[in-house]
Structure 1
Amino acid sequence: METDGPSVVFSAQELELRLLGPMTLMRHGVAVTLPPSRKVRALLAYLALAPGSVPRERLCDLLWELPNDPRGELRWSLSKLRLLMDTDGRRRVIAADDRISLDLDGCDVDARHLMEKRRRGVENLDLAALRTIAERCSVDLLEGADIDSCPAFNHWLTSRRSEFRLYGLEAAAEIVKKTPVGGEDGLPAARQWLHFAPLDAEANVRFLEELCQKRMTDACNRHLEAAARLFADEGEDFAPIREAWEHLRRLARQPAVTIVSEGVGALAKPVQVTAARRASIAVMPFCELAAEPAERHGLGGAITHDVISKLARLRSLFVIARGSVFAIAGEGLELQEIGRRLGVDYIATGFLEQHDHLVGVTVEVAEAATAHIVWTERFEARSAERFTLLEEVGNSIVQSIAAEIENEERNRAILKHPDSLDAWEAYHRGLWHMFRFTAEENARATEFFRLSTRLDPTFSRAHAGLSFTHWQRAFQRWGDRDAEAKEALKAAGQSLLVDDQNPAAHWSMGRALWLTGDHDQAVRELEHSIHLSPNFALGHYALAFVHSQSGDPQAAIAASDHSRLLSPYDPLLFGMLGTRAIALIRLDAFEEAAEWAVKAAARPNAHVHILAIAAHCLALSGRIGEARNYAARIRLQNPDYRTDNFLDAFHFTPDVIARYREAAVLIGLAT
């Protein structure tokens, strides 16, 4: 444990930047007026939290869209940042080699302090540091900074907010662990933990213990009543907490007995479920906004039917049948009443406008229990063909709904203690860690997927997730490739065994077969995954990945493009872009390949193999200086990385291998 006094200190330095809560900037202790532009403030926050320099292309994609001038907008925003950040003749906004970074030396950034302390492990921090982390993380990162017109930035912001909420939860739980039950600080510590994790059985039990120690019986009863309602609304099992309360009451009635915390293992063991709970959704009929009934063409009902069918084929959600939603659609019910009648977690509603051959559909997804809007978006398509309109609009809606609910479920699972997760929540907690793409986070994801499969052995997607983590260990050489490939095959086989109609099961099997070198069978499995669900973006991406190396490069490009169309903000977007670059190399389109490879390397979480794709593609296109910059970045991540590591990870044909070796000589990555 650290013993050098409080571990998190925010002092009045030359510049102080506060990102937790509303953004504030202080210069020598005096508040600086921030620009009114949300994008300028978003740019400052993104650069302040970035681990290094960021490509201009990434910043443009994050905050601006065509047909505007993204690079011009970025230059204007950087000029505003320089006015804010440059102090006493010191340039803090650094532009070099088409990359942007901030010089934060002498600048106190609260969020970076907390990130650094958390990396050391909360168990190694003293109580003063833990309390600071819990207090600071009790508010949202960049409160009020969401930008409606910037979905990429909003996705990044949602992810980072989840991380800091998790930091706060970990700190609050550790404070309770280090605070004796019944002590002076016991009740405030338990209340703070409960604030972060209201659905955590152990947090509720500890709060009741503290109240019971102080003989606050009325408060115990009020908390039990309120918590029972909350658990019922969320579909959680309240029985373990009620049983723990009865245990505490029995102890409290015994004279001269001190109540000692026995932990969740003794008081609130998680219930072993027998069937996987899946998030459920009702897609209500989309209304057509036409003045007269004669002007309505039945497109609203047709799109609704299409969305219901395609969502069901993804098999990631429990989807209420068309007959049930259409039966109650005309009753004018509020969302919460619809949720109660149909027993669903989420409700999708929408309306449709049609002008000549242009169709616009606005869709909302709300939580059924609270009517809180989770996501809203407008989709447009132009065609004279009814089938084409249905296909274009329906596909976009389906993938967006699935992705947004999955993101919401991941964020919900993060806030719960691991001991209280059910199979569905453990699976989504695994996804959260898996998409960080590091060896450490991949290992944590593996444990959550294993927990999910133990809680429900029939949960096909949990087995597929476990296969994915073994695949990553093999591909990244984080473990023995042959052993991990066998484990990936084993988990994929189990996923198929319990649900051979699940596209994710065939996807995981196709990827595992690719690891073993069985190209043809891998392609057949991946094709079957998208046959089962044409909207399964990861199936299209995996097919592009396999074809890009030793199959049909044109098919790889088409599959990559379609995967990005279905899931434009996918956590694996760097791979979708990178596979396109690999396919273009095989078509001798070196300059185009380099452009796509640079886009891939600019994505968040792009790993070392993606940087290697960029380095080699740039070298083959003749852009040697840029290629050497990427080679330098690779060596910073992994000093021993060479082209042999790159070639060993993939299954390239001999002629392509020869090209990459020629490029490696030019940029210093040859063995």
Structure 2
Amino acid sequence: MESKAVCAAADPAGASAVGIRLRMLGPLEVWRDARRVTLPASRKVRALLCWLALSPRPVARGQLCELFWEGPSDPRGELRWCLSKIRSVVDTPGRSRVQGLDDAVALDLADCFVDAIDVARELEHGVAAIDRVRQRELLALFQGEFLEGLELGRNPGFDAWLTAQRRRFRSLQAALLDRIVGQAGDDEVFGYLEQWLRLCPFEARAHRILLDTLARLGRVREGDEHMAVSARLFEAEGMDFGPVRDAWRSARGSCIEAGMESGLEPAPAPVPWRESADSIDEGVALATRRASLAVMPFHDGSAVAGAFRGVGDALVHDTITRLAKLRSLFVIADGTVFALHERGVAAHEAARLLDVDYFVGGSVGWAGDRLRVSVELVETGSARIVWSETFVRRAQDAFSVLDEISDMIVSSVAGEIETLERNRAILLPPDSLDAWEAHHRGLWHMYRFTKDDNALARHFFEVALRLDPSFSRAWAGLSFTHFQDAFQGWSSRAPGTTRALEAAAQGLLADDHDPAAHWAMGRALWLRGEHAPSVLELERAVDLSPNFALGHYTLAFVHSQAGDPLAAIASADLSRHLSPFDPLLFGMLGARAMAHVRLGQFEEAARWAVKAAARPNAHPHILAIAAFSLALAGTLGDARAQAAAIRRALPRYSFADFEEAFRFDEPGAELFREGARRIGMA
């Protein structure tokens, strides 16, 4: 049995004072009152214990039976037997931790210490948020692979979960090592680097830091030896070792020039590690970069070994294709990610090797006729899980279900990354922004929908375009700011329309395959009163990228006023499905409301319009849709309350302003005019 001293070394958080401790970051161990508990021989009991320990909510007994038992005639009896064995491990006198709740099971570990839960909770917001001492304490909790040796076999659901958890915790451990290495002194850095390279043998950054440190300390011979071994390792796997070799040549040459070969005094102070731009001009890289993403192959419990036909592979291929069509991200090609996967490179390690900002990983599996897909978006540098979701669908046609799930993955991933990049850009000094950051700083202001913020958004889009005139997304953003000026009445309509068209045309010249460029042109043409050409441009946007939510929304916006109101409702619903938390959600809801008004469905229109007006960034035109729809539905009190809210922002607002902003056909305009008359705004 391990001694208390050894146990405490792996338990730096002071968890030895806790009655029960579970170690999952290594072979499973349970400790009670500083003594290790003999675990049941059944691997399924141990697997069930760990599943319940990490489950954030009670788990239905039926789900557990489907997950762990396929064959027995009495899976619920098997489950009861396993739970009795778990009770013998975790229950203490007067304290029952295995809880039956209706037809669900939960494991109450509120007064226990679980290393995996502790690590995941502490690193939820990234490594940078944790002080140095705590970083080392958390690293000490890693005593091996997550649940080392606990694979079940013939349980694809559990094995998929185990693979995903192992990937997650390897990623967290690598992020800790990356951060600690950057802060460690020369007397300890090599120990951490060795841990990092054992965990991620193809982590080019770790190799470069090691070689850079050896060169700085004048230990050229050791660097040459490491180079020789590492080069063989990379070449055996068919990986490019060139950038690491080039970095070593540069560092080695500088070391020899400075007369610092082994035996001489090392440099007095460490040089902070900095990635080198080996083969590209740094100015160009800064001007043209986009956030980068790798979608890693999912663990596929339904795939035949060695085959390239599993539903997981199909989902990854489809997701990569759809994300690439958005053209807002740099997406690694599927051939590369599958090649790394086939070599056994873990997802987080592959993401670091590819030097991407984010990666998507997940698992798929079947339970009877239900498909279960678990997905997570991870920020590579911090190992922080940015977004995660589990989709469970009953599938008659697997690939139609995959199409739906892929839609949700693409829209969620793109939206989450855009939000992160916007929020990050707003914290940076304005004079330090590259084109990508300036563009996202512009988006942050643009989506606030005020006159002053719109002007600031235009400024930052112009900064982005000075740095990179070929940045089509920035042209689309610039066009939108001019559209807003004209639509909101913040400037004369004719000049704003002209400038919106000019910027959109520049976006199309920069990249005719960018759906955002066609979206910008479609909005500008609508602003000029050209309904049919506007619809053609917007349809081109969604043809280029069926997941482009703003394209579907703007089709709804245009059709809700003068086109097909039923098509407007369908497009509004699809845009909300693709981007349920979009900054323009008020517009999606408002477009549906306008379509219902034109269909004579006033109560339905009022219901959607009130939802639109309740959005925090809804502008006065949206409140006017609500006021006039409510009036048409006969709810005059609520309609007048909306009118009062409008006049608090714009005291002179009337139906004339509303009619000037929109482009209704005559029957539609007359309906809204009648709503305005009923509350004295005509």
Q: TM-score, normalised by structure 2?
A: 0.58
2:323–2:410 Cα contact (<8 Å) kept: yes
CA distance in 2, matches of 1:624, 1:325: 59
What do the CA deviations read for 1:216-236 (whole angstroms, capped 9, x no partner)? xxxx996x834x54xx3999x
Residues 223-242 of structure 1 mapped to structure 2, 5 A cutoff: 225-226=271-272, 228-229=273-274, 232=275
What letter corresponds to residue 343 of structure 1 in structure 2? Answer: D
1:454 to 431, 450, 466: 466
Residues 462-611 of structure 1 mapped to structure 2, 5 A cutoff: 462-611=474-623
What do the CA deviations read for 1:96-128 (whole angstroms, capped 9, x no partner)? xxxxxxxxxxxxxxxxxxxxxxxxxxxxxxxxx
Partner of 1:443: 455
Q: Does 1:418 align with 2:464?
A: no
Query: Rg bigger for which structure?
Result: 2
Q: Does 1:406 align with 2:418?
A: yes
What letter corresponds to residue 486 of structure 2 in structure 1? Answer: A
Give the fraction of aligned pairs with identical amino acids, expressed as a percent: 55
CA distance in 2, matches of 1:627, 1:221: 74
2:297–2:313 Cα contact (<8 Å) kept: yes
What do the CA deviations read for 1:164-217 (whole angstroms, capped 9, x no partner)? xxxxxxxxxxxxxxxxxxxxxxxxxxxxxxxxxxxxxxxxxxxxxxxxxxxxxx
Residues 56-455 of structure 1 mapped to structure 2, 5 A cutoff: 225-226=271-272, 228-229=273-274, 232=275, 275-289=287-301, 298-455=310-467
Q: Secondary structure at the match of 2:271?
A: helix
What letter corresponds to residue 373 of structure 1 in structure 2? Answer: I
1:362–1:378 Cα contact (<8 Å) kept: yes
Q: Secondary structure at the match of 1:225?
A: coil
Partner of 1:44: none
1:358–1:380 Cα contact (<8 Å) kept: yes
Q: Secondary structure at the match of 2:371?
A: strand
Deviation at 1:455, TM superposition (A): 0.2
Runs (5+) with no aligned partner, structure 2: 1-128, 131-266
Structure 2 vs 1, CA of residues 334 and 488 (structure 1 numbering), >3 Å: closer, same or farther? Answer: same
2:287–2:436 Cα contact (<8 Å) kept: no
1:336–1:370 Cα contact (<8 Å) kept: no
CA distance in 2, matches of 1:554, 1:497: 33
Corresponding pairs, count: 417
1:290–1:296 Cα contact (<8 Å) kept: no
Deviation at 1:331, TM superposition (A): 3.7
Partner of 1:175: none
Deviation at 1:353, TM superposition (A): 2.6
CA distance in 1, matches of 2:284, 2:336: 31
CA distance in 2, matches of 1:292, 1:306: 19
1:310–1:533 Cα contact (<8 Å) kept: yes
CA distance in 2, matches of 1:528, 1:291: 36
Partner of 1:634: 646
When the two chains are superposed, the root-mean-square deviation of aligned CA atoms in Å is 2.6
CA distance in 1, matches of 2:542, 2:281: 40
2:442–2:460 Cα contact (<8 Å) kept: yes
Deviation at 1:272, TM superposition (A): 7.0
What letter corresponds to residue 594 of structure 2 in structure 1? Answer: I
CA distance in 1, matches of 2:501, 2:568: 23
Partner of 1:50: none
What letter corresponds to residue 510 of structure 1 in structure 2? Answer: G
Partner of 2:664: 652
CA distance in 2, matches of 1:629, 1:524: 39
Q: TM-score, normalised by structure 1?
A: 0.59
2:602–2:633 Cα contact (<8 Å) kept: yes
2:303–2:311 Cα contact (<8 Å) kept: no
Runs (5+) with no aligned partner, structure 1: 1-137, 140-219, 240-270
2:347–2:361 Cα contact (<8 Å) kept: no
CA distance in 2, matches of 1:579, 1:605: 16
Deviation at 1:519, TM superposition (A): 0.4
1:560–1:579 Cα contact (<8 Å) kept: yes
Structure 2 vs 1, CA of residues 420 and 272 (structure 1 numbering), >3 Å: closer, same or farther? Answer: farther
2:606–2:630 Cα contact (<8 Å) kept: yes
